[in-house]
Amino acid sequence: MHDTDAIAAAFDDEAVLLIGHGSRRERSNEQVRELAAGLESRLGIPVDAAFLELAEPAIDEAFAALSTVASGVTVVHCSLFAASHVKNDVPLAIERARAAHDVEIRNGAHLGIHPAILDLLDDRAAEVERRLDADRETDDVAVVLCARGSSDPDANGDVHKLARLLYEGRSFSRVEASFVGVTEPRLEETLHGLSKHRPDAVVVLPYMLGDGVLTRRVRDWTDEFEATYPYVDAAAGDPLGTDSRLLDVFADRWQEARSGGVEMSCDTCKYKVDLEGYEEDVGGARAMLRALTHREAHADRGDVDEEPHAHDAPERHVVVCTNRTCADMGSPAVLERLRQAARDSERCDARITRSSCLGRCGDGPMVAVYPDGVWYGGVDAADAERIVSSHLDGDRIVSDIVDRTL
């Protein structure tokens, strides 16, 4: 239990921003808002909700509103694991907000692995056991923890860790980690593999917040598995939803951010170290974040010889998405043509780098120009020279290929 009166007195001029992904299903967005309202009651200070995409308010709009009523804002993530949104997109939004508003912003951690979540998953499994008339103490009960799946190895690794922790100290015959997409093992593969062990019951736990397209897919695959293997009873449980135990996790993440105790995995972060198979992702949006803050740390100076580390920052940073979808659409050629055109120009002062996913899959190849905040979409190699000659050299946006401006 939290002493809300003491907290409210200590943080009278502060607020919390709970950031969710955003969905085309308004019910999922309402879930984030419901969690924000619950967290506000728990902490006794204002808590607003914001979204990365597909819903309102956007993160920048939420910061603008909060900056008029609070001197400090703590960001709490409504993300289960730390993938690109937590590591890149939100930090970029925070840097922009810090530059635009006179407000102190602290960035908290994602939900991650927490005892309250393990307790919640244990209860979700027990609910399915009752539906199947199974008992882990006397029957052979297997559990599959099924997450969305990510291109980030840290996030996927945490699913396996969570599955192992759910197994430890409990009487399940086995607990397997699985995914709906993006990475392996897929749920269908895991279920068919379990059939060889002939368990009495299989409990599938969708490790997701909302009940939407992915959870329906999990239920459908589970139903197909049960129909294919009649000697195994199988059923899928409910997602995490708005269970009050999530508020315990949010409150802890808030306290960690307030005390400077946020810990992120750096040893296995693909944006910070070379990992086998993820070499192209080193830098990426992380490099964009560095470019946004680089000017203040190394402004134009005349004493570079005396202080070699101080140097002229480039006028612009251009990033080209070379993640899978954009790469298939020709972004490596765009990157090279941009670099060549910049080298050929006598006026261009820009750093041009590759980026990981910019979140506009299908609209690429994507090219983003900062600090202008101009994103170009559907760029082909022939457009590269226009971006350099018109935008980078002449300060004229190439309007016919603009995807968005920030």
Domain of residue 374, CATH code = 3.40.30.10
Say if strands 367-370 and 316-321 run parallel, antiparallel, or are unpaired. Answer: antiparallel
DSSP per-residue codes, 257-313? HHHT------TT-TTTS--TT-GGGSSTHHHHHHHHHHHHHT---S-TTTSTT--PP
Same domain, 341 and 376: yes
- Locate the DSSP E strands across 336-386: 350-355, 367-370, 374-376
Domain that holds residue 93: 4-110
Same domain, 37 and 134: no
pLDDT at 268: 62
Say if strands 201-206 and 141-147 run parallel, antiparallel, or are unpaired. Answer: parallel
* Contact call for residues 359 and 365 (beta carbons, < 8 A): no
pLDDT at 310: 42
Same domain, 202 and 305: no
Mean pLDDT of successive 10-residue stretches along the chain, which has 406 residues: 46 86 89 96 95 91 93 95 85 89 93 94 98 96 96 92 95 97 94 94 96 92 95 96 95 90 65 64 55 47 42 77 85 90 88 81 89 92 92 91 85
Q: Is 326 helix (H, G, I), strand (E, B) or coil?
A: helix
- Please give the model's pTM, rounded to 2 decimal places: 0.67
Same domain, 97 and 130: no
CATH code of the domain in which 150 resides: 3.40.50.1400
Same domain, 288 and 303: yes
Residue at 265 is within a domain: no
- Tell me, what amino acid is at 191? L
- Whether the ω angle into residue 91 lies within 30 degrees of 0, i.e. cis, is no
Residue at 312 is within a domain: yes
pLDDT at 311: 43
The closest alpha carbon to 221, from 188, 185, 195, 248, belongs to: 188
Whole-angstrom CA distances from 255 to 63, 74, 201 are 20, 9, 40
* Contact call for residues 36 and 18 (beta carbons, < 8 A): yes
- Tell me, what amino acid is at 372? D
Same domain, 162 and 91: no
* Contact call for residues 334 and 379 (beta carbons, < 8 A): yes
- Tell me, what amino acid is at 107? N
The closest alpha carbon to 78, from 21, 158, 37, belongs to: 21
How far, in Å, CA of 332 to CA of 354, rounded?
A: 9
**Please, which residues have CB within 8 angstroms of residue 385's CB and are 6 or more apart in sequence?**
337, 341
Tokens, residue 337: 């043509």
Same domain, 138 and 103: no
Please give the helix or strand (H or E) that residue 177 lies within, else none.
strand 174-179
Residue at 53 is within a domain: yes
- Count of positions (residues) in the chain: 406
**Please, which residues have CB within 8 angstroms of residue 60's CB and are 6 or more apart in sequence?**
93, 96, 97, 100, 406
What is the domain count for the chain? 3
Same domain, 125 and 192: yes
Residue 228, CA atoms < 13 Å, CB-side half-sphere:
14
The closest alpha carbon to 146, from 196, 92, 189, 187, belongs to: 187
How far, in Å, CA of 290 to CA of 196, rounded?
A: 50
Which residue, 67, 92, 110, sits at the end of a domain? 110
Which residue, 79, 110, 141, sits at the end of a domain? 110
Same domain, 305 and 393: yes
Same domain, 332 and 345: yes
Same domain, 368 and 291: yes
The closest alpha carbon to 94, from 54, 52, 69, 63, belongs to: 63
Cβ-count burial of 275 within 10 angstroms (0-12 exposed, 13-18 middle, 19+ buried)?
middle
Same domain, 305 and 358: yes
CA 243 to chain centroid, in Å, comes to 21
**DSSP type of residue 320:** E
